Structure 1
Amino acid sequence: MTVKNDSGRTESPWRGLGEKFRRVLNTPQFNYKVLMSVTVILVVIGLTMVLSSSMVTSIDSDTGVFGEFMKQAVVVAAGLVGMWFFLRVTPSTVRNLSVIFLGISVVLLILVLIPGIGVGGTEVGSNSWIRFAGVGIQPSEVAKFSLAVWGAAVVAARSRVSSSARFVLNPFLIVAAVILGLVLLQDDLGMMLSLAAVVAAMLFFAGVSTTALMSVLAVAGVAGVIFSLQHAFRSARFSSWTETFTLSFDEATSRGATFQSRQGILSLSDGGLLGQGLGQSRAKWLYLPEAANDFVFAIIGEELGLLGAGLVVILFGVLAWFGIRTAMAQNDPFLRLLAAALTMGITVQAFYNMGYVVGLFPMTGVQLPLISAGGSSAVVTLASLGLLANIARHEPATVSSMQHEGRPLIDRILFLPEPEPYKPGQERRERVREQPKRYGEPVTRRRQPPPGEPVRPGTSRHRGAREPLPEPRHRTSQQHNRRRR
């Protein structure tokens, strides 16, 4: 179908639809509303799938049908409180707290390595959890968030002083190497991948050349492969990955190293286009290990089919797209770097989890953010998305629209303050105002009497003392007119 314009030329109707779509994308507050909507949808899907996939294991552990679901609901509620907090906080406050966040994460990473404090995680051979009063904390999740916040603050601040790449990036690279080393000592390659995504996003948006960035990633990849081959259980995962990728499972390993991957593929294949129906999975009846955690995407494919699994993929793709759009729309370098790092840290982990479930990547212990059952992962992810949405609220067009049209309904419901516009150099100006300087003696001091001249009686002047300026004389209107004549 074609349409003729006023000049008689033939135009495709898709061009008009494209223009309308671009106008919608450029609407103020659109990035913010999309990020909030995607977060709510993923939270609802996650709670629903945790309830469906954990019923059997909850009954088997004598906690009732809703045992695992209630734990996840409490965790999600705590994460929503954290999300609300980071929606309200100002960017300057986040920047000032970045050092505290980094210090807490480093202390937790060290504590998890102490025997008797750190416990094993979902990944075989890893030691990446701390438990306090029955509550599990994964320090590497906290470190991913802290590294993004602190790295964005440091790189943005040093980039204002110098254009030298070494001066700007060296502190960030040193701290990132320390954190990656601490996570490596925990034998948690999955979280190392998420942290590497944060580092790569920070370097890319800081302006590092593509050649240097690919070189750094190549070195990190080779180091990860060498480290993996040093452990028998990790090297076995590479062989099981080749079997899963080619769908040629060996009977000798299908009950061992490739058992979980094979069950995940069978679960996905049972779903078909529309799925078996919500709650009708057969793999969750103790056939598929970690059905509510690492392999929850397989349960989604089995119960909701290709359409349900495709919806989850699309939602994380939309999250990645609008997160990067939010970063590109910022004038503040700190918010631009932080938005990119937070977006990549969440979405790379999500796509890697879904990728190894379908056999595209070697299997690790990373969770599917907001979908898998997990404590610290849900809390940190929701806090990160709250901060990302807050960054979207501080886009220049969004700030201007809220100043002229008022805050949207969601902001009024959540009692969110009006975002403040970004003023280049405001931080430096405030720092200079707090430290006033004196440039010699004041020029308004009265002439001091020469040595030996007596001081007039009735005055308190002495040599070196300051005196106030004389009071200004105000002319009357008659004097003023006389003066003009």
Structure 2
Amino acid sequence: MSTPTSNSKRRRIPGAGENSPHGERPEPERTSVSQESGGERGLASLHRKFTAQLATPQLNYKVLMVVTACLTILGLVMVLSSSMVTSYASGSSVFGEFIKQAVVVFLGLVAMWVALRMRPETIRKYSPLLLGVAIVMLIMVLIPGVGIGGEEVGSNSWIRIGPVGVQPSEVAKLALAVWGAATVSYKARATQRLNSGLGAFLIVSAAIVALVFLQKDLGMAFSVCIVVAALIFFAGVSRRAITSVLGSVAVLGVFSITRQSFRGDRIKTWKDALTLNFSESTTQGAAYHSHQGILSLSDGGMFGVGLGQSRAKWFYLPEAKNDFIFAIVGEELGLLGAFFVVFLFGMLGWFGIRTALAQKDPFLRLLAATLTIGISVQAFFNMGYVVGLLPVTGIQLPLISAGGSSAIITLLSMGLLCNCARNEPETVSSMQHEGRPLIDRILMLPEPQGYKAGEQRRNERRETAYSYGEPVTRQRASAGRGSQDVRRERDRVEQSIRRVGGESRLRGYDGVRRQDLPPTATPKPIPRSRHRADEAGPPRARKTRRTIDNRHRRR
């Protein structure tokens, strides 16, 4: 009798094998093994369900729409809470700033709806026009009397259009992302060389960054450089090229910081905020914003002091509704509210990159990745300098901070990103077979069309009058009017004629009756009269055979 192994599933007979060293196992050990196997099965089941849920079509699109809605609503609530005191102090109603922001957000939602309805070909087609408008606006803001801002904000980067102030650098950032994705993806596919597409993009990017630097707006120059670096990275450029671009940006940043004294003070303030070692002189001077922001975050605790109950907005924290609105979020909503904002931007970054990776169209892939990185990095940089981890640069928190052009451009960018998610191959197939989701039916969005590789190039070739040489279907005098199969049959017949010693018939072959064709190499069967003639005598047989052969040849 063989000893049962540890993997044996036979039922153990009671009392058997008690004296054997391999007879039985302790009961507690068997229970723990079963518990571990059950736990592993549970984790494996959860992992399979989670993976299957992530592979669901339309998931990226729905998550991005939900994240945009949550950030927009939260931004309106926090603008109302943080601007009530300053609005009332300016002589208007406590809802004055909130009404302005609500109008701007409504215009941004209209722009987002338009971006959702546009087809990728239309976005690619009008990208040069958007870039031209952005460059013109950047030049206009440098004209004395047109650009506003001045020394009170440290930069001259706004244009007043009626009651609305427009920041051209925001428009330039979006235009550079859209036009750069269209240019790099198209030229890289047409020439199979990435350098040919990046040359024009780098020249235009350098010109736009230089124009933003001339406005003395280091924060927006940093945002534009983020867009450029993201597009270069996702285009597949080597690390050496990316490092050289980032090094050039760093040199320009250091040069700009040394030219302005208040930017040097910001570096010192960053060092104090990072170590939480503020001196008495700096807290009333250059470090006043950072010091008050950190105090607001510390007052919030875990659950916050309550919505609308912030004390920092009572003229303690400057720019409470703009650059340092994240401090008000942390004070009123606590650590949980601040973590919720971080979680929303993290979801935006993750599902935005998933959208880019799921694309088959190179233009949509580059556009989705660039827009995602541009919005996410700006958001985390803003939250980073509010908590003291990064130097203060003056960029806003997207969709949360109060601002006209920033809200409109960010919602337009989110509309383009959600449009990329709608045009994923799996999402297009799902909408075509299962129907559009509820949000699309409410917004009356058209059904997306599938991407066809090379469609743009084919359409351009149809519309362009190129000469491709002589068509292969043109009739030629030397080769006859027949097709290739007819010419091949003619050559075969000519070879057969040469083998039997006949004359070549080089004349028009097309349309010739079949009975007029020359004989082929395969001989016809000999008639019975020929066999009877062979059986006759020699003189008569030769004459008869000659007559029969002539008749047979004439047939």
Q: 1:40 to 1:122 in 2, by over 3 A?
A: farther
Partner SS state of residue 252, structure 1: helix
Alignment TM-score, normalising by the size of structure 2: 0.77
Q: Is residue 2–residue 12 contact of structure 1 (8 Å, CA) maintained in 2?
A: no
Q: Deviations over 1:93-151 (max 9, x none)?
A: 00000000000000000001111111117983211100011210000000010000000
Amino acid at match of 1:361: L
Q: In structure 1, how many angstroms separate the alpha carbons of the residues matched to 2:58 and 2:153?
A: 44
1:431 CA drift (Å): 1.4
Q: In structure 2, how many angstroms separate the alpha carbons of the residues matched to 1:101 and 1:174?
A: 17
Q: Is residue 4–residue 11 contact of structure 1 (8 Å, CA) maintained in 2?
A: no
Partner SS state of residue 211, structure 1: helix
Match 1:27 to one of 44, 56, 66 = 56
- 1:325 maps to 354
- 1:459 maps to none
Q: Is residue 297–residue 357 contact of structure 1 (8 Å, CA) maintained in 2?
A: yes
- 2:388 maps to 359
Q: In structure 2, how many angstroms separate the alpha carbons of the residues matched to 1:123 and 1:231?
A: 14
Partner SS state of residue 280, structure 2: coil
Match 2:224 to one of 190, 195, 204 = 195
5 Å-filtered alignment, 1:452-463, equals none
1:227 CA drift (Å): 1.4
Q: Is residue 83–residue 385 contact of structure 1 (8 Å, CA) maintained in 2?
A: yes
Amino acid at match of 1:229: T
1:78 CA drift (Å): 0.2
- 1:463 maps to none
Amino acid at match of 1:22: T
1:436 CA drift (Å): 5.1
Q: In structure 1, how many angstroms separate the alpha carbons of the residues matched to 2:293 and 2:359?
A: 41
Amino acid at match of 2:185: A
- 2:80 maps to 51
Q: 1:437 to 1:245 in 2, by over 3 A?
A: closer
Match 1:368 to one of 384, 397, 416 = 397
Partner SS state of residue 11, structure 1: helix
Q: In structure 2, how many angstroms separate the alpha carbons of the residues matched to 1:224 and 1:275?
A: 37
Q: In structure 2, how many angstroms separate the alpha carbons of the residues matched to 1:2 and 1:104?
A: 69
Q: In structure 2, how many angstroms separate the alpha carbons of the residues matched to 1:382 and 1:135?
A: 17
Q: In structure 2, how many angstroms separate the alpha carbons of the residues matched to 1:47 and 1:112?
A: 29
1:220 CA drift (Å): 1.1
1:440 CA drift (Å): 5.7
1:226 partnered with 2:258: no
Match 2:164 to one of 124, 131, 135 = 135
Partner SS state of residue 315, structure 2: coil
1:114 partnered with 2:146: no
1:399 partnered with 2:425: no
5 Å-filtered alignment, 1:255-266, equals 255-266=284-295
Q: In structure 2, how many angstroms separate the alpha carbons of the residues matched to 1:121 and 1:279?
A: 32
Amino acid at match of 1:182: L
Tell me how large the CA RMSD over aligned residues is.
Answer: 2.0
Q: In structure 2, how many angstroms separate the alpha carbons of the residues matched to 1:433 and 1:355?
A: 52
1:387 partnered with 2:439: no
Q: 1:284 to 1:122 in 2, by over 3 A?
A: farther
Match 1:267 to one of 290, 296, 301 = 296
1:167 CA drift (Å): 1.1
1:192 CA drift (Å): 1.2
1:183 partnered with 2:201: no
Q: Is residue 3–residue 13 contact of structure 1 (8 Å, CA) maintained in 2?
A: no
Q: In structure 2, how many angstroms separate the alpha carbons of the residues matched to 1:123 and 1:80?
A: 31
**213-222 or 387-396, larger mean C-alpha shift:** 213-222
Partner SS state of residue 154, structure 2: coil
Gaps of 5+ in 2: 1-30, 478-555
Q: In structure 1, how many angstroms separate the alpha carbons of the residues matched to 2:33 and 2:353?
A: 35
Q: Is residue 86–residue 390 contact of structure 1 (8 Å, CA) maintained in 2?
A: yes
Q: In structure 1, how many angstroms separate the alpha carbons of the residues matched to 2:59 and 2:470?
A: 54
Q: Is residue 184–residue 194 contact of structure 2 (8 Å, CA) maintained in 1?
A: no
Q: In structure 1, how many angstroms separate the alpha carbons of the residues matched to 2:85 and 2:139?
A: 36
Q: Is residue 123–residue 188 contact of structure 1 (8 Å, CA) maintained in 2?
A: no
1:19 CA drift (Å): 1.7
5 Å-filtered alignment, 1:166-315, equals 166-315=195-344
Q: In structure 1, how many angstroms separate the alpha carbons of the residues matched to 2:383 and 2:43?
A: 33
Amino acid at match of 2:288: F
1:230 CA drift (Å): 1.6
Amino acid at match of 1:30: L
- 1:480 maps to none
Amino acid at match of 2:307: L
1:347 partnered with 2:395: no
Q: Percent identity?
A: 61
Match 2:94 to one of 61, 65, 88 = 65
Q: Deviations over 1:365-393 (max 9, x none)?
A: 10000000000000000000011001000
1:9 CA drift (Å): 9.0
Q: Deviations over 1:171-218 (max 9, x none)?
A: 000000000000000111111111111111111111112232123212
1:266 CA drift (Å): 0.4
Alignment TM-score, normalising by the size of structure 1: 0.88
Q: 1:160 to 1:100 in 2, by over 3 A?
A: same
5 Å-filtered alignment, 1:434-445, equals 434-435=463-464, 443=474
Q: Deviations over 1:151-170 (max 9, x none)?
A: 00100110012233321211
Amino acid at match of 1:331: K
5 Å-filtered alignment, 1:79-94, equals 79-94=108-123
1:3 CA drift (Å): 9.1
Gaps of 5+ in 1: 447-485
Q: 1:198 to 1:437 in 2, by over 3 A?
A: closer
Q: 1:116 to 1:3 in 2, by over 3 A?
A: farther
Runs of 4+ in 1 over 6 A off after TM superposition: 1-5
Q: Is residue 87–residue 416 contact of structure 1 (8 Å, CA) maintained in 2?
A: yes
Partner SS state of residue 22, structure 1: helix
**Count of residues in correspondence between the two structures:** 444
Q: In structure 2, how many angstroms separate the alpha carbons of the residues matched to 1:96 and 1:384?
A: 17
Q: In structure 2, how many angstroms separate the alpha carbons of the residues matched to 1:412 and 1:208?
A: 41
Q: Is residue 2–residue 13 contact of structure 1 (8 Å, CA) maintained in 2?
A: no
Q: In structure 2, how many angstroms separate the alpha carbons of the residues matched to 1:288 and 1:356?
A: 15
- Could you say which structure has the greater relative contact order, defined with CA pairs below 8 angstroms and 6 or more residues apart? 1
1:10 CA drift (Å): 7.5
Q: In structure 2, how many angstroms separate the alpha carbons of the residues matched to 1:443 and 1:250?
A: 89
